[in-house]
Structure 1
Amino acid sequence: MTDGSDDLHPTLAHHIVNTLGWRSMRPLQSAAVRPLVTGDDALLLAPTAGGKTEAACFPLLSAMERHRWTGLSVVYVCPLKALLNNLLPRLESYASWLGRRAALWHGDTTSSARRGILREPPDILLTTPESLEAMLVSANVDHKRVFADLRAVVVDEVHAFAGDDRGWHLLAVLERLTRIAGRPVQRVGLSATVGNPHDLLTWLQGSGRGSRPAQVVAPEADSPPTAPASVDIEVDYVGSVSNAATIIATLHQGRKRLVFCDSRQLVEELGAALRSRGVTTFLSHASLSADERHRAEQAFAEARDCVIVSTSTLELGIDVGDLDRVIQINTPRSVASFLQRLGRTGRRPGTTRNCLFLAIRRDEVVWTSALLLLWSRGYVEPVTAPPEPRHIVAQQLLALCLQENRIGARLWDREWNGLTPFDRSAEPVLGHLTDNGFLDRDGELLFIGPTAEQRFGRRHFMDMTAVFTAPPQFTVFHGRREIGRTDPALLTEKVEGPRLLLLAGRSWQVGWIDWKRRRCFVEEADRGGKARWHTSGIGGASFDLTRAAREVLLGERPPVTLTRRAERALADEREDAGSRVYPGGTVITSDGVDTRWWTWAGYRANATLAATLSDLLDERQRVDDASIRLRNDLSREMWRVATTGASGRLVLPEVDEQALTGLKFGEALPTRLAVATLATRIADVQGATRTLAEPVRHHVRPR
């Protein structure tokens, strides 16, 4: 090969040609060799199935040989256990070409396998951030011996981490690993297309930003394979889950179809509807058991005429074989998510990337068109870390005490190498932990206190290794086989006749419930099951997506195919929108009963505006993406007085006390700091400021 492979180890290059049968490497793989072999931090960007794993691993294996690394020298981090399981055979094979070993450590790894890893660490360890944390705090792991030889960390799907608290947790753990290794650790991120790649790389570098060489490697960025002219996109309006199932059952028979839904309930309902129509159907979502998901994914990978219905669990790089069609029910949460899903198709020579959108609600035609309008303009959302992660700071201080048994009351911040917010700015959090018994103090030493033992000490503090809160669920068994988990509300609500659940696309009749152990035992039923899960988190569309929806209502349309049904639905939505949209600014409508400010600014901006203009709100206020409900006696003078200068005194949204329960480790913070953390996260100050600067048209309709 003459495409950059000269810097690869000769044995590795030999196997790439003779074992893999490659005549050349892909542009990303060639471009990544030199910077990674020489030790640069890097962000490797390519679409789904773009060869990112090999682009990272081939140079690092070459560096391993060139510099004679020994022991555990590379940690490969993924957001999902299923993705790690999928990658392991490939990395084991690549490592074996050089006489090296790769191994897997996550929540499902057996005790015997873990003992083998600790006894003889592999050269490459595939794991999750939560498992890394568990290793660091475990009394059974000599972390200083295991990680002493660490040289590089690969973070797969880095954008999936950076956008939420798992990213802050990952950065903090990497800083602690750097301290243990006693040297700078090379950081390599793998990502699909993002709107701000240089910012994402800077974020990934952590405390090393500005002090280590770093570059974004994206040779195909200037010619994206998903340009509108090169893909097959169609939007249809179907009106119900039943109609969606009928269309999916009828279209593309004999083909392999992957259907994405953005809720577990919708996955279950559509899966059951497809099976009732005789379609070979598999399901995948987070509340199905690992065995159930694995069986479904394996069967789907080996079958041809079938459908798999999934939440975002199959959005990331898990291999389910060659796909013919991707179908999206309603609108995905972002352009980036759409690109990930679209990238599942068109991998075989002579095939085209494609996606069929099926809108169940009429307004979803507008939102889908808005998302596709942004995509057609080359827009991809920037990935930004959630602001002010004080609860993660609290978790890290407690985890460090578990890791080291005792930490210095004046030296603790060194463990994160000065990375904000794990630096001296965390003093108020540390003070609260010591004042409230989470930490005890003996002179200049801090250690785990009785409150932390009581709150987080179950199962050897394993609850402290994950930074997200999972709502309580009951595990459902059919005989000895675990099917998945269901919301306890379905087991407690009043029902007439037998209690029926819908799980794994099948109906089940509840037989016996073990309330103490949170277990539910079921038998098969013909039909009639219900599916429901409690969802938490901050919902709502972004400022940019909501503004694109306004553009669509005003006449813009994406360069994709809309069926006649979708065209009619869009025309009806535009007619109904009428006075609610105004190209030059925002609109206040009033009919004497309902007064609304149509901002089209997205949920977070509207929440910020509602908090700032609270005196103008209707007492039944509920913020949505497009509008804010105002008091019916609003006058133009009242509006002018309230909004003059409002952009200079914006107020963060109020936080419901119940929302604090979803902030894991929030109880280890002073209430005011926990509230401030959540308030900052549900605000969009920039969007609110832009909205206030726009002219307002008042439209009063006679009653």
Structure 2
Amino acid sequence: MTFQLLSRTVQKKIWDMEWRGLTPIQEAAIPVILEGRHALLMAGTASGKTEAAFLPVLSALDSSGQTGLGLDGVKVLYLSPLRALINDQFERVERLTDTLDIPLVKWHGDVSRSKKMSWLEDPKGILQITPESLESLLVNRIDDLARVLERVEYVIIDELHAFLEGDRGLQVQSLLARMRRYMRQEPVMIGLSATVGDPAQGQAFLHTEDPEAVAVVNPGDVKRQIFLQAEFFEKEKAGLPPALVRDLYDLTKDQKAILFCNSRGQVEELTHRLNELGRELGGPLYKPRYFPHHSSIDKGEREWIEEEMKTTKTPLSVVCTNTLELGIDVGTLDLVVQVDATYSVSALKQRLGRSGRREGQDSYLMMYATETEELVQAVAVTELLFDKWIEPAVPRREVYDLLFHQVLGMCTERSGLYQEDLLTEIAAHPVFAGLPASRVRELLAYMLEEDWLEVVEGRCILGVQGEQLVRSRDFYAVFQSPALYKVMHGLRLVGTVEANPLVQKGESLLLAGAMWEITDLDEQRGIVYVTPSFEGKKPIWLSGSRYLHPKIADKMYEVYTGTDDLDYLSPRAWERLQAARAVAAELGWERERRVIREGSRSVTVFDFAGTRRQNALARLLRGWFREQELRLTVKQTAFAVVIEGGDIEKGIGKKAVTAVGEILARGQEEKYLLMGRGMEPEKPAATKFAQYLPRHLQLMIEDEIERDVEGLREWIGGRKWKVER
């Protein structure tokens, strides 16, 4: 029996907490981790993954006498993508450790410096930390690194899927490689996730040298019924349609629910509209039941609503962006609502997993769409979820910006490195090993030339520019954060709003579920002063680009051209889908062929190729038109490329697409991509640290992030086309 494998102290702790038994993931994970094996733990939200990792780890420490007076140094390093998740998990882990006398410390930007310095005097136990704080620790606490890291035996990475794709994940892999030089032994690597699309990618992340050494522990999700419905209400110019707000209010007013939106502005609008409707129907005794939660709301207010959701016994709902998508505990829920389609299957699975947390409880998800395209996308994402498909991670390869960042960090951490030693470490580094040695040398030469680095007594140390960048507070995070204004009502910090010209004195905005008028703006200090107002509108946040996976785009085309009856659509949503399919039929769309529609002044290529493949297609078309000296422009919508201009002629669409296919088949894409670039406006650097690189490296990074040429090569080669007029 698995329970008997745990130490007596841990067994007693489980009895004291009155657990009914171990969950499937705990039953499966405990023997693996107690054997000292690396492990990827895959299970749904609220399945007990955290305890599945910590129970055997704590038991192993207890059995070997590494608790209380026998504890010597930091034994467990727990990495999390969110400060809020660390705060939440701190309480859960503390309940397990309080009788074992194992210190537990959280280390991130919200923890006071005095607490951190006090812990550093005698570092031991379990360290919970974010990647950014770990970077800061490596750069700023050089003299303490060996004492903190040398005795680490376990590294636990929570929400691993959040790191598999994106710059933060590459940073984490680099940090893990840098840390190992201080450790006396190879730590046991444990990853936790509910939505890893390809377990092999998780294994490679946890143990690059030998991925197969990582045991995949996946007992399967607990069987539960999923009740899902999709509804449709037409979007209005003024915002969300009143009928949707009323329907949503009637659905949730007596429930405990999370309402997910795709933008902070929509969160604020929906929260305000729902509470206004509540006041209208409930009169002066109405108390707000809907509260907003997103990254621009003050941390204290976010933590308050998280605690209210966790402890309340009365109907209460939180309206949020993806801030509550990951594993922050908000207690059991009656319902999850999604307003407009998610951009990924992974996000939908995470959000669906927030309900049905109690044993034997079913999951309930209500989806609303406000545009036809949103409805079709919601159906496509849902169908892929039913097919058990999740987006695989696609890590970047042209990571010169991250190399620039990590070289500065490594040279600071090591108080300088001989250039050949630095090149040797880069060549063996799991993130940078695939970069051509010639380009790595070129980048180091550039950094020396531009005073990011300088050579003193043969060692590369920070130059003047490098010193300024590393010592700035903005150095530790590799993701780009917009400039923000603090929004103050008297002495109260309401939250933040992105700094842009639309934020002006006299303007009104919605923030933290309330209406405000801007009374003053201190641009130098970055503060917006507000007072309560009776009129408000959504504050304007500048949103980044959304990239749609080609599998979702292709599934949407299948939905448009299909005939399947979807029983989770409401009568209104079904009627709208049927109307959309009728329009698709009129346009000549067929499942097995993509359509090129020729008009008198434009040609529309309905590609449904996915964002990055379409970007590559558009760039290559521009390059080919330029070579052919054709006066044609290329515009893009989410699922189509539109060709316009004075040289429109019959058959130009098919001819152009065929030409792109031939360019890719011949391997001449670089020439045409370069020509196509000249017909586009110049963009800012694609990533935070790319701006410091030579221009040609910036362009390589931009091309990889925005365009999938290899994917387009495969896609266009197997595509059949038809021309409609």
Supply the RMSD in Å over aligned alpha carbons. 2.3
Answering whether residue 630 of structure 2 is matched by residue 622 of structure 1, we say no
Aligned to 1:549: 556
Answer yes or no: is the 8 Å Cα contact 2:620–2:660 preserved in 1. no
How far the C-alpha of 1:19 sits from its partner, in A, is 1.4
Aligned to 2:37: 40
Answering whether residue 669 of structure 2 is matched by residue 651 of structure 1, we say yes
Answering whether residue 105 of structure 2 is matched by residue 107 of structure 1, we say no
SS, match of residue 207 in structure 2? helix
Letter in 2 for 1:289: D
How far the C-alpha of 1:641 sits from its partner, in A, is 6.0
Distance verdict in 2 for CA 1:558–1:485, change over 3 Å: farther
1:487 to 489, 498, 507: 498
How far the C-alpha of 1:194 sits from its partner, in A, is 2.2
Aligned to 2:13: 15
Query: C-alpha distance in 2, partners of 1:56/1:416?
Result: 32
Aligned to 1:407: 417
SS, match of residue 5 in structure 1? helix
How far the C-alpha of 1:621 sits from its partner, in A, is 2.2
1:570-589 aligned within 5 A = 570-578=577-585, 579=587, 581-589=589-597
Of residues 330-339 and 578-587 in structure 1, the stretch that sits farther from structure 2 once superposed is 578-587
How far the C-alpha of 1:449 sits from its partner, in A, is 0.3
2:393 to 383, 403, 412: 383
Query: C-alpha distance in 2, partners of 1:643/1:677?
Result: 22
Distance verdict in 2 for CA 1:683–1:25, change over 3 Å: same
How far the C-alpha of 1:340 sits from its partner, in A, is 0.7
Aligned to 2:285: none
Answer yes or no: is the 8 Å Cα contact 1:509–1:522 preserved in 2. yes
1:432-451 aligned within 5 A = 432-451=446-465
Answer yes or no: is the 8 Å Cα contact 2:346–2:391 preserved in 1. yes
Letter in 2 for 1:411: D
SS, match of residue 588 in structure 1? strand
How far the C-alpha of 1:98 sits from its partner, in A, is 1.8
1:195-234 aligned within 5 A = 195-206=197-208, 208-210=209-211, 213-220=213-220, 225=223, 230-234=225-229
After TM superposition, the score normalised by the length of structure 1 is 0.92
Answering whether residue 677 of structure 2 is matched by residue 680 of structure 1, we say no
Distance verdict in 2 for CA 1:700–1:357, change over 3 Å: same
1:560-599 aligned within 5 A = 560-578=567-585, 579=587, 581-599=589-607
Query: C-alpha distance in 2, partners of 1:239/1:297?
Result: 32
Answer yes or no: is the 8 Å Cα contact 1:387–1:681 preserved in 2. no
Query: C-alpha distance in 1, partners of 2:12/2:631?
Result: 71
Q: Deviations over 1:524-550 (max 9, x none)?
A: 0012233110122x4232110011001
How far the C-alpha of 1:619 sits from its partner, in A, is 4.3
Of residues 341-350 and 158-167 in structure 1, the stretch that sits farther from structure 2 once superposed is 341-350
Answer yes or no: is the 8 Å Cα contact 1:150–1:185 preserved in 2. yes
Query: C-alpha distance in 2, partners of 1:286/1:700?
Result: 47
Distance verdict in 2 for CA 1:644–1:99, change over 3 Å: closer
Answering whether residue 55 of structure 2 is matched by residue 58 of structure 1, we say yes
How far the C-alpha of 1:584 sits from its partner, in A, is 1.8
SS, match of residue 634 in structure 2? coil
Answering whether residue 471 of structure 2 is matched by residue 472 of structure 1, we say no
Aligned to 2:258: 258
Q: Deviations over 1:499-539 (max 9, x none)?
A: 11211121101112111110111100012233110122x42
Q: Deviations over 1:146-174 (max 9, x none)?
A: 21211211000011011110000001111
Query: C-alpha distance in 2, partners of 1:685/1:639?
Result: 16
Aligned to 1:300: 309
1:650-669 aligned within 5 A = 651=669, 659-669=683-693
How far the C-alpha of 1:384 sits from its partner, in A, is 2.7
1:142-161 aligned within 5 A = 142-161=144-163
How far the C-alpha of 1:261 sits from its partner, in A, is 0.7
Answering whether residue 522 of structure 2 is matched by residue 511 of structure 1, we say no
1:289 to 290, 298, 302: 298
Answer yes or no: is the 8 Å Cα contact 1:586–1:694 preserved in 2. no
Q: Deviations over 1:71-107 (max 9, x none)?
A: 1111111111111111111212212222211111100
Letter in 2 for 1:623: Q
1:49-88 aligned within 5 A = 49-69=46-66, 70-88=72-90
Aligned to 1:6: 4
Query: C-alpha distance in 2, partners of 1:40/1:320?
Result: 32
Answer yes or no: is the 8 Å Cα contact 1:36–1:59 preserved in 2. yes
Q: Deviations over 1:245-290 (max 9, x none)?
A: 2111111431111100111111111111111112511111111111
How far the C-alpha of 1:216 sits from its partner, in A, is 0.7
Distance verdict in 2 for CA 1:419–1:25, change over 3 Å: same
Distance verdict in 2 for CA 1:657–1:418, change over 3 Å: farther
2:355 to 345, 353, 356: 345
Query: C-alpha distance in 1, partners of 2:139/2:681?
Result: 31
How far the C-alpha of 1:427 sits from its partner, in A, is 2.8
Percent of residue pairs bearing the same amino acid type? 28
What are the ranges of 5 or more consecutive residues in structure 2 without an aligned counterpart?
67-71, 279-287
Aligned to 1:26: 23
Query: C-alpha distance in 1, partners of 2:424/2:37?
Result: 24
Of residues 632-641 and 377-386 in structure 1, the stretch that sits farther from structure 2 once superposed is 632-641
Of residues 652-661 and 425-434 in structure 1, the stretch that sits farther from structure 2 once superposed is 652-661
How far the C-alpha of 1:429 sits from its partner, in A, is 2.4
How far the C-alpha of 1:139 sits from its partner, in A, is 4.6
What are the ranges of 5 or more consecutive residues in structure 1 without an aligned counterpart?
none
Aligned to 1:670: 694
Query: C-alpha distance in 1, partners of 2:662/2:395?
Result: 30
Aligned to 1:394: 404
Answer yes or no: is the 8 Å Cα contact 2:226–2:362 preserved in 1. yes
Of residues 136-145 and 604-613 in structure 1, the stretch that sits farther from structure 2 once superposed is 136-145
Q: Deviations over 1:313-351 (max 9, x none)?
A: 100000111100000001112111111111111122453
2:230 to 205, 211, 235: 235
Letter in 2 for 1:432: Y
Q: Deviations over 1:460-507 (max 9, x none)?
A: 3332110011011111011111111112226556x8xx3112111211
Answer yes or no: is the 8 Å Cα contact 1:372–1:558 preserved in 2. no
Distance verdict in 2 for CA 1:132–1:474, change over 3 Å: same
Aligned to 2:651: 635
Distance verdict in 2 for CA 1:65–1:23, change over 3 Å: same
Answer yes or no: is the 8 Å Cα contact 1:373–1:558 preserved in 2. no
Query: C-alpha distance in 2, partners of 1:659/1:273?
Result: 37
Query: C-alpha distance in 1, partners of 2:426/2:717?
Result: 41
Letter in 2 for 1:420: P
How far the C-alpha of 1:225 sits from its partner, in A, is 3.8
Distance verdict in 2 for CA 1:640–1:377, change over 3 Å: closer
SS, match of residue 592 in structure 1? coil
Of residues 572-581 and 270-279 in structure 1, the stretch that sits farther from structure 2 once superposed is 572-581
Answering whether residue 280 of structure 2 is matched by residue 280 of structure 1, we say no
2:136 to 130, 134, 137: 134
SS, match of residue 277 in structure 1? helix
SS, match of residue 605 in structure 2? strand
1:314 to 324, 327, 351: 324
Query: C-alpha distance in 2, partners of 1:399/1:42?
Result: 29
Answer yes or no: is the 8 Å Cα contact 1:405–1:447 preserved in 2. yes
Distance verdict in 2 for CA 1:661–1:432, change over 3 Å: same
Q: Number of paired residues?
A: 684
Query: C-alpha distance in 1, partners of 2:715/2:709?
Result: 10
Query: C-alpha distance in 2, partners of 1:572/1:48?
Result: 37
Answering whether residue 371 of structure 2 is matched by residue 361 of structure 1, we say yes
Of residues 562-571 and 32-41 in structure 1, the stretch that sits farther from structure 2 once superposed is 32-41
Answer yes or no: is the 8 Å Cα contact 2:661–2:716 preserved in 1. no
Letter in 2 for 1:39: G
How far the C-alpha of 1:627 sits from its partner, in A, is 1.3
Q: Deviations over 1:31-70 (max 9, x none)?
A: 1122212222111000001111001111111222334452
Q: Deviations over 1:126-145 (max 9, x none)?
A: 11010011111115861122
